[in-house]
Structure 1
Amino acid sequence: MRSGLRIIRNALALCVALVASSCGDEFGPGSRLSTVRILGIRSDTPYVRPGATFTTDILAYDGRADRSRPMHLYWLEDICFSPTDGKPEDCYRQLEAKYPRNEDLSSRVTEGKQMTFAMPADASTGSPPRLALVFAAACAGHLELVGSAEGYPSSVPFACVDQGRRLDANDFVFAFMRIYVSNDLTNANPTPSGVTLDRVPLPIDRPFSFPHCTVQSIDDCPARKLAVTIGDESQEVDPTSGPPGGELLQEQIWSSFFVSSGKLESESLILFDARHGRTSHAENEYRGPTVPGDVDLIVVTHDNRSGVAFQSFKLKAE
């Protein structure tokens, strides 16, 4: 499954829509909100014309128990063009030539949730559309260029540093998003209208209360149904999916789920298939939590052409 965002952590590139191996009793690392996380990067126009501007924003989450060092969001101001197969390794070599090593890059990056980029007018396009990458980081310190690890040219060449100490994956995540450059093709972000829990729409302006689970093992808790509400109009034809004059496929659309406590049955669900449209029974299951408290639920919906939508909800287990 191809996603517009990949997270790089400990020199490994992980697609956010893929299920990772389990670590912990309640949920695996893909849905776990216990560290600094970037859950999605969204562009207002996933397909951009040469000479146009586009604005990106980050959905980040700080799940650390100790937040004495605040999380910062940074954008590299460079747009990297045409990396091989959409992978960032070629970009890393370009970026390493632009920044000084082992220096605080705060004056060379932009801090904040949003960033507006200008696509160069000479970013010529063809068929398929030209591919560009933009980079961002969540870091409980400042960014430094340290170079890729020896023997691992695909490892991230940037580090998060605080008081001279390189921070680990609890405090640092580096991410990129693909942007497509085209004179005539377009793509709209998916437009989910909400999320339901046991068929009840979750409110966006207040917490949704429900009883906490009273059994000892979270696996014995009742399974509550989670579903994304989204219209058929979100699925567009993918104009690059077939040969000229041949049959074109539609977009694939899927949602990734994240919770701060409790257990999810699936970390992602396909909502629309490229050939058959809307999938049946696209429901997730949520169990727990086993103690009362507040729960953050975040849903990130993707299409396979870098379209992204964010939804965040507050739950209250009583």
Structure 2
Amino acid sequence: MRRPFRVLRGALSLCVALLASSCGDEFGPGSRLSTVRILGIRSDTPYVRPGATFTTEVLAYDGRADRSRPMRLYWLEDICFSPTDGKPEDCYRQLEAKYPRNQDLTSRVTEGERNTFAMPADAITAAPQTSSPRLALVFAAACAGHLELVGSAEGYPSSVPFACVDQGRRLDANDFVFAFMRVYVSNDLTNANPMPSGVTLDGVPLPTDRPFSFPHCTVQNIDDCPARKLAVTIGNESQEIDPTSGAPGGALLKEQIWSSFFVSSGKLDSESLILFDARHGRTSKAEDEYRGPTVAGNVDLIVVTHDNRSGVAFQSFKLQAE
């Protein structure tokens, strides 16, 4: 499965799972909303024609208890083309040649949730023997300071070469996330983002204009709390045919679509659920389980729905545990 979006935390991407698994929070590391996070990046057109513009949007969340240094969102100005196996390591070498080291890059990046890129007119033809679609990567960062190019860590050539710096001090993964999104360049292929229409909690549609109230769990062990069913409402039309799938002359497959869930309090049973299978279509019982929280208060619920051709959709909800 080709994942269109991946997050790299801090300086060493290798440390992401190790750092997360050592934490003792009441929900799993993938769904934790207790630090600076980038939960998704999307493009208005996941497949872009040469010479066209496309607008990207990053969904970030600041879950830190101490927000005295505000989280800021940055976009690198460069598009990276055709990295080997779709990985960003090849792009890092290109980027290190374009930015000065150990300097504040604020004047060289775009700040904000959204950014517009111009796809070069020769994005396909400039690369010898490159066929459509051609893979491209764009990069974003959430940082409670400013970005600096510091180079990949010695002995770790695949580590992120950028750092988040505040008053001369490099910040750690609590204050910094560096991420990328894949887009595709094609003259004739297209893809639409998934179109979920809502999320239900125990079968009740969650409102988008006000908090949804429910009783908090009154037991001490969150695993003993009743399981509430979370489900994404999405129509069959969101699953498009994948024109790049299948062997030559063989039947084409459809997209795979999945949703990832994030909460600021409580516990999720699954971090991600497959909604549509490439061969068999809609999956049965595509429900997550949510337990807690064990104290009253506000809960942020965020659902990010992906397809395997860089399509992404965001949904955010406010819950009120009483």
Q: TM-score, normalised by structure 1?
A: 0.97
Aligned partner of 1:173 in structure 2 is: 177
User: In 2, distance between residues paired with 1:43 and 1:272?
Assistant: 21
Return the letter of the residue paired with 1:172: F
Aligned partner of 2:167 in structure 1 is: 163
Return the letter of the residue paired with 1:138: A
Aligned partner of 1:104 in structure 2 is: 104
Contact 1:7–1:14 (Cα < 8 Å) also in 2: no
Aligned residues: 315
Deviations 1:214-252 (A, max 9, x none): 011000000000000000000000000113321111100
How far has the Cα of 1:28 moved from its partner?
A: 1.5
User: In 2, distance between residues paired with 1:268 and 1:228?
Assistant: 11
Aligned partner of 2:220 in structure 1 is: 216
Contact 2:41–2:59 (Cα < 8 Å) also in 1: yes
User: In 2, distance between residues paired with 1:236 and 1:212?
Assistant: 39
Aligned partner of 1:84 in structure 2 is: 84
User: In 1, distance between residues paired with 2:244 and 2:148?
Assistant: 38
Contact 1:255–1:302 (Cα < 8 Å) also in 2: yes
Contact 2:132–2:185 (Cα < 8 Å) also in 1: no
Return the letter of the residue paired with 2:92: Y
User: In 2, distance between residues paired with 1:24 and 1:193?
Assistant: 34
How far has the Cα of 1:67 moved from its partner?
A: 0.1
What SS does the aligned partner of 1:95 have? Answer: helix
User: In 2, distance between residues paired with 1:314 and 1:272?
Assistant: 26
Contact 1:236–1:251 (Cα < 8 Å) also in 2: yes
What SS does the aligned partner of 1:179 have? Answer: strand
How far has the Cα of 1:5 moved from its partner?
A: 1.1
Contact 2:124–2:131 (Cα < 8 Å) also in 1: no
Consecutive unaligned residues of structure 2, counting only runs of 5 or more, are none
Return the letter of the residue paired with 1:119: M
Contact 1:128–1:240 (Cα < 8 Å) also in 2: no
Return the letter of the residue paired with 1:114: R
Return the letter of the residue paired with 1:98: K
**Moved segments of 4+, more than 3 Å:** 13-16, 20-23, 125-128
Alignment of 1:172-191 (within 5 A): 172-191=176-195
What SS does the aligned partner of 2:90 have? Answer: helix
How far has the Cα of 1:25 moved from its partner?
A: 4.1
Query: Which range moved further: 237-246 or 72-81?
Result: 237-246
How far has the Cα of 1:13 moved from its partner?
A: 6.4
Contact 2:106–2:146 (Cα < 8 Å) also in 1: yes
Return the letter of the residue paired with 1:73: L
* Change in CA separation of 1:224 and 1:14 when aligned onto 2, cut-off 3 Å: farther
What SS does the aligned partner of 2:237 have? Answer: helix
User: In 2, distance between residues paired with 1:138 and 1:57?
Assistant: 12
What SS does the aligned partner of 1:215 have? Answer: coil
What SS does the aligned partner of 1:30 have? Answer: helix
Return the letter of the residue paired with 2:86: G
* Change in CA separation of 1:315 and 1:254 when aligned onto 2, cut-off 3 Å: same
* Change in CA separation of 1:43 and 1:174 when aligned onto 2, cut-off 3 Å: same
Alignment of 1:124-135 (within 5 A): 124=124, 126-135=130-139
How far has the Cα of 1:110 moved from its partner?
A: 0.3
Aligned partner of 1:38 in structure 2 is: 38
How far has the Cα of 1:128 moved from its partner?
A: 4.9
Deviations 1:25-48 (A, max 9, x none): 411110000000000000000000
Query: Which range moved further: 24-33 or 143-152?
Result: 24-33
Q: TM-score, normalised by structure 2?
A: 0.95
Contact 1:5–1:15 (Cα < 8 Å) also in 2: no
1:263 aligns with 2:267: yes
Return the letter of the residue paired with 1:12: S
Alignment of 1:259-298 (within 5 A): 259-298=263-302
Return the letter of the residue paired with 2:184: Y
1:302 aligns with 2:310: no
Contact 2:124–2:132 (Cα < 8 Å) also in 1: no
Contact 1:213–1:291 (Cα < 8 Å) also in 2: yes
User: In 2, distance between residues paired with 1:233 and 1:151?
Assistant: 47
User: In 1, distance between residues paired with 2:105 and 2:163?
Assistant: 10
User: In 1, distance between residues paired with 2:22 and 2:263?
Assistant: 15
Aligned partner of 2:63 in structure 1 is: 63
Identical amino acids, percent of aligned pairs: 88
Alignment of 1:15-54 (within 5 A): 21=21, 23-54=23-54
1:12 aligns with 2:13: yes
User: In 1, distance between residues paired with 2:255 and 2:179?
Assistant: 23
How far has the Cα of 1:24 moved from its partner?
A: 2.0
Aligned partner of 1:94 in structure 2 is: 94
